[in-house]
């Protein structure tokens, strides 16, 4: 390459860097849209509403929540993956990004290469729930009930591939009917009424109904008990292995979003997660603040992708 050509490349790099820095200095100068790929009232929506208000204050700009439910989160995630990478359309993603990539065929986007992790916000256990009217008080009693009533029992799930529920069913040798929902909150009325025998939703979707006495918590995922449910055992303690997984949530942007914008939003997200009122709101939802910046979240996310791929292979969770 000639000296003139090298100089031209150098100047182009300087121009690109300057343009990126300029965008970050003026960003955001219009409303930011956070896509929630599930129905309102569900786990992803709940945490988004907690952080969006504070993020709007810190960015001094309106933050709009855009619920796009369907296809187990894939409709909303695909929308963001294909969006203009200008920093104004982001996704509140969660563990479903890794599980879907590992277990669903013919995806319209690649959760690893089409989305950039911005900041992780929180994490939580899932809760094995049954209607309070069901005469089942322990996990072992539930397993016995499912085996005794294979044609009249059912469980709710969001999406056709829900690793936690499928692993539970496989490891307990039961065969309840699966009923699909676009969001965990939409399944709660059916669970409370007894149309569903059990469900294993994220804590924020079930805790209010456990507190009200409408649902009974039998166990939680993870390797330790929940602070909100100290007397409820883990599934491992209850005798069901391979269910130590924790649900997490985090903000993502389309690939090619300027790094300066990614870093700015990441910094503001981590700052608001230190607010006492955010920790309090999270606690009411059974969520633990679990801040990771863009670089840390990217490393964590890659590990999650690999982990769920191994689980999907081990338990044959690939959707047919």
Give domain limits for the chain: 10-124+247-314, 127-220
CATH number of 127-220: 3.40.190.10
Please answer whether residues 68 and 11 qualify as being in contact, where contact means their C-beta atoms are separated by less than 8 angstroms. Answer: no
Helix (H) or strand (E) holding 249: strand 247-254
Q: Considering only CA atoms, which of 317, 82, 46 is closest in space to residue 205? A: 46
Query: What would the two tokens of residue 102 be?
Result: 């590992």
| Architecture, CATH, for domain 10-124+247-314 | 3-Layer(aba) Sandwich (3.40)
Per-residue pLDDT of 13-71, as tens digits, reads 555 555 555 556 799 999 999 999 998 988 899 999 999 999 999 999 999 999 999 88
Per-residue pLDDT of 121-137, as tens digits, reads 999 999 999 999 999 99
| 10-124+247-314 and 127-220 in the same fold | yes
């Amino acid at each position: 390459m000639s000296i003139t050509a090298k100089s031209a490349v150098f100047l182009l790099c300087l121009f690109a860097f300057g343009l990126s820095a300029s965008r970050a200095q003026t960003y955001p100068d219009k409303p930011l849209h956070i896509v929630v790929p599930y129905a309102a009232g569900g786990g992803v929506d709940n945490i988004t509403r907690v952080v969006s208000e504070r993020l709007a204050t810190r960015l001094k700009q309106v933050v709009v929540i855009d619920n796009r439910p369907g296809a187990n989160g894939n409709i909303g995630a695909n929308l963001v993956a294909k969006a203009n990478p200008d920093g104004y359309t982001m996704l509140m993603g969660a563990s479903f990004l890794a599980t879907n990539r590992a277990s669903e065929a013919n995806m319209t986007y690649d959760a690893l290469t089409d989305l950039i992790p911005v900041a992780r916000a929180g994490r939580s256990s899932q809760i094995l729930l049954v209607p309070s009217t069901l005469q089942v008080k322990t996990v072992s009693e539930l397993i016995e009930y499912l085996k005794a009533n294979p044609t009249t029992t059912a469980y709710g799930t969001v999406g056709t591939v829900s690793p936690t529920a499928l692993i539970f069913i496989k490891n307990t040798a039961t065969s309840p009917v699966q009923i699909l929902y676009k969001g965990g909150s939409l399944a709660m009325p059916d669970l409370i009424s007894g149309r569903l025998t059990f469900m294993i939703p994220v804590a924020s979707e079930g805790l209010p109904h456990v507190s009200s006495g409408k649902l009974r918590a039998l166990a939680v995922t993870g390797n330790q008990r929940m602070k909100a449910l100290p007397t409820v055992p883990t599934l491992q303690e209850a005798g069901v292995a391979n269910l130590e997984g924790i649900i997490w949530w985090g903000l993502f942007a389309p690939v090619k979003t300027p790094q300066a914008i990614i870093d700015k939003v990441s910094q503001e997200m981590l700052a608001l997660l230190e607010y006492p009122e955010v920790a309090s709101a999270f606690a009411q939802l059974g969520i633990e603040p679990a801040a990771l910046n863009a670089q840390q979240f990217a490393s964590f996310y890659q590990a999650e992708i690999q982990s769920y791929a191994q689980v999907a292979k081990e338990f044959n969770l690939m959707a047919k």
